Amino acid sequence: MDIYKAIGQRIREARQAAGMSQEELGKAIGDYTATAISYFEHGLRKVKIEDIQKLAEVLGKDVSYFLSPREATEPIAQVRLRTKTKISPSHREEISDFIRFVREQKQKEGKE
């Protein structure tokens, strides 16, 4: 997958989880229109590192969230889709911690 499409997908997921519109996010990170955010989300416009830093601050994520391997973010997206509710940043972090714990336990079981 193209790196900008992957980053864009994470931007969209984080924005939706935060309950923000594209217009709200654009204003929050600078002078961007909803169209510009849409271009970011679809990988049609390159995201500058400064913008990734702003996105991370506004959306309550670490910069690595936008740049890390896909599988690290997928379970949270699945939880979000199943519950159809907003997940606060602190709850997302707890879910991430739990997922990491489960993965570690599965890896230990596979090695023993």
Domain at 73, CATH number: 1.10.260.40
Question: What range does the domain containing 28 cover?
Answer: 3-111
Q: What pLDDT score was predicted for residue 70?
A: 54
- Residue labelled with tokens 């309950």: 19
pLDDT 10s digit of each residue in the chain, 112 long?
578 888 999 999 999 999 999 999 999 999 999 999 999 999 999 999 999 999 999 999 988 888 875 544 444 444 444 445 566 777 777 777 777 777 787 777 776 4
DSSP 8-state code for residue 42: T
DSSP alpha helix (H) spans, 30-88: 34-41, 49-59, 63-67, 74-83
Domain count, the chain: 1
Q: What angle do CA 74, 19, 98 make, to 5 degrees?
A: 35
